[in-house]
Amino acid sequence: MDNSIAQIQTLHPRLRQIALQAYQEAVKNTPAGVHPIITEGYRSFAESDKLYAQGRTAPGAIVTNAQSGSSYHNYGLAIDFALVVDGQTNWDEHHPNWMTVVNIFKKHGFTWGGDFAGSFKDYPHLEMRFGYNWRDLLALHNTNQFIPRTTYVRI
């Protein structure tokens, strides 16, 4: 069963409706047999620590360069997606419908991880920063002015 709506509901309240609209548009604009899914929204600091350790101090391939506090997922401001193609989850950014989904989310104001500068491209990642960098958000978090998935002072 598709968990996309549940993942969208984990996002910051200001982002939920935007993400839902973009997701629904992406679903509508992909052909039969292809369906975008949201695989992750909010991610706790502990979950980020675990992912960051992967490929470094834990088994597996490196999947992120973002330590806890430096990921927009930690603030409910990012999603990861994949495609389901003929019933199988597909992470291939070269799939002909990948950019259809990316471009719809970009049209709604998201930044795509495939456009990140540097050598690490995060193709399944989409985020909306609302003018904040992660250091600003971490400072708000550390002074209890930011609580993920709720309204916070400056956004």
Convert the pLDDT of each residue in 8-55 to its tens digit: 999 999 999 999 999 999 999 999 999 999 999 999 999 999 999 999
DSSP state, 145?
-
CB atoms within 10 A of CB 114: 15
Structural fold of domain 4-142: Muramoyl-pentapeptide Carboxypeptidase; domain 2 (3.30.1380)
Residues linked to residue 122 through DSSP beta bridges, in sequence order: none
What residues does each domain of the chain span? 4-142
Distance CA 116, CA 112 (A): 7
- Rounded to the nearest 10°, the torsion over CA 30, 26, 113, 42 is -130
Tell me the per-residue pLDDT of 54-69, one tens digit each, with 9 for 90 and over: 999 999 999 899 999 9
Residues linked to residue 39 through DSSP beta bridges, in sequence order: none
